[in-house]
Amino acid sequence: MPELPEVEVSRLGITPHVLDHVVTKVNIHNASMRWPVPDDVYQLQGLKVTSIERRAKYLLLGCERGSVILHLGMSGNLRVVNADEPLKKHDHIEFVLESGKALRLNDARRFGACLWQAPGECHTLLTKLGPEPLTDDFFAERVYEQSRNKKVPVKQFIMDNAVVVGVGNIYANESLFKAGIHPKREAGKVSLKRYQQLVPIIKDTLAAAITQGGTTLKDFAQSDGKPGYFAQQLLVYGRKGEPCVTCKEPLKEIRLGQRSTVFCANCQK
């Protein structure tokens, strides 16, 4: 599943081609996404895209009448192509631009979304989201206070979008390893000192992934079709049974919240 760095890389990739350009036509080739695509999305037609923002894993294409909300789901990707290029299988949503280009949302599994947010409103999907991880609103003391008396494993705690958005499975694995924290440790039993170590590590890990182009995932490609390369530097995720880069002991894998969790039992306590 594309995680926050991949979505941010997509935002950065499409911005030069879409921002300040007029959408001459909106084509909804398949409205049966995770939620039905509302007709309100057609309001973008004939208007200039005045902003392209990311909130958690959602991209918002803003115009004077509101914003189109895009979510890549489990297998989605955005591509900027020539408008006359034939559609690919699973090209469900298309925004044709005055430049002769088109922004297309391709989603084989159709778990992604294309929704609408009216001016001055906040879509229900965005109302309960926590702070962005790369902002000053995400800091150790806040996380520590939220964690008190929480018995949930710390890995699931930092993946909770009410605590902080965008710390998906890959980056939770990586960050906890770097901080030396066992993923099953109860969030409420992690000390302030350890959260003061973990929070900057989460920030640095996500920032590095964005800089390096997002993680290479089976279904993900940047807007130019080139995959990210951060996966080459993953320390634990996807490395079950391989030696720990620190102590050389075999890495272990368990399931937490139905997600693969890889860690070093020797280095993470």
Q: What is the pLDDT of residues 130-164, one digit of tens each?
A: 999 999 999 999 999 999 999 999 999 999 999 99
Q: Is 57 a catalytic residue?
A: yes
What's the mean pLDDT in 227-253? 87
Q: What is the pLDDT of residues 187-207, one digit of tens each?
A: 999 999 999 999 999 999 999
189 annotated ligand binder: no
Task: Check if the beta carbon of residue 191 is closer than 8 Å to that of residue 183.
Answer: no
Q: Does residue 17 lie in a domain region? A: yes
Residue 173, CA distances (Å) to 74, 254, 268 in order: 18, 11, 11
71 & 17 share domain: yes
108 & 146 share domain: no
84: CATH: 3.20.190.10
104 & 202 share domain: no
Q: What is the pLDDT of residues 108-128, one digit of tens each?
A: 999 999 999 999 999 999 999
* Domain final position from 117, 151, 166: 117
103 & 152 share domain: no
Query: Domain residues for 110?
Result: 4-117
Of 229 and 59, more confident: 59
Structure-token match 């294309």, residue found: 114
Question: 269: which residues sit within 8 A by CB, 6+ positions away?
Answer: 180, 181, 182, 185
Q: Which of 11, 54, 57, 178 is catalytic?
A: 57
Domain count, the chain: 2
Q: Is 53 a catalytic residue?
A: no
Q: Which of 25, 48, 185, 259 is catalytic?
A: 259
248 & 168 share domain: yes
Please report which confidence band the pLDDT of residue 228 belongs to, taking 50, 70 and 90 as the band edges.
low
pLDDT of residue 225: 56
Question: 146: which residues sit within 8 A by CB, 6+ positions away?
Answer: 163
Q: Does residue 207 lie in a domain region? A: yes
Q: Does residue 103 lie in a domain region? A: yes
154 & 233 share domain: yes
38 & 147 share domain: no
13 & 108 share domain: yes
What's the mean pLDDT in 45-64? 97
97 & 156 share domain: no
pTM of the model: 0.88
pLDDT of residue 220: 47
158 & 203 share domain: yes
90 annotated ligand binder: yes
Q: Does residue 155 lie in a domain region? A: yes
269 annotated ligand binder: no
Q: Which of 3, 8, 94, 174 is catalytic?
A: 3
Q: Is 2 a catalytic residue?
A: yes
Q: Does residue 229 lie in a domain region? A: yes
Q: For all residues of the chain together, what is the average pLDDT?
A: 92
pLDDT of residue 219: 47
145 & 254 share domain: yes
Q: Does residue 269 lie in a domain region? A: no
Q: Is 119 a catalytic residue?
A: no
Task: Check if the beta carbon of residue 182 is closer than 8 Å to that of residue 149.
Answer: no
168 & 107 share domain: no
